[in-house]
Amino acid sequence: MALTKRLRITGRVQGVGFRYALQREARSLGLAGWVRNRRDGSVEALLQGSAEAVDKLITWSRRGPPGARVDGVEVQADAGEERRAGFDLRPTE
């Protein structure tokens, strides 16, 4: 059974390639979901996959790519999202 988590990442996380790096990491871990910038300057992501892979990406997101400064990562369970295939970049919301 796939685990689904929603992340809100704050700090200097826009304009530093955070979304692209997170997408690359997610795909390398076999996760499904999406990532997008938020108008408030944060990055939001939905992760679906094994508990181990989701935990690894959450750990990665606490440091992010070079150039990012992560101030916080809020993690929420998300049972309402339907099962996804692939890992997409979504437009800013």
Q: Which residues are catalytic?
A: 19, 37
What is the DSSP secondary structure assignment for residue 83, as one 8-state letter?
Answer: P
- Residue with token string 């890992």: 87
Q: SS3 of 11, please?
A: strand
Contact by Cβ (8 Å): 82, 9:
no
| 33-54-39 Cα angle (round to 5) | 50
What is the DSSP secondary structure assignment for residue 20, as one 8-state letter?
Answer: H
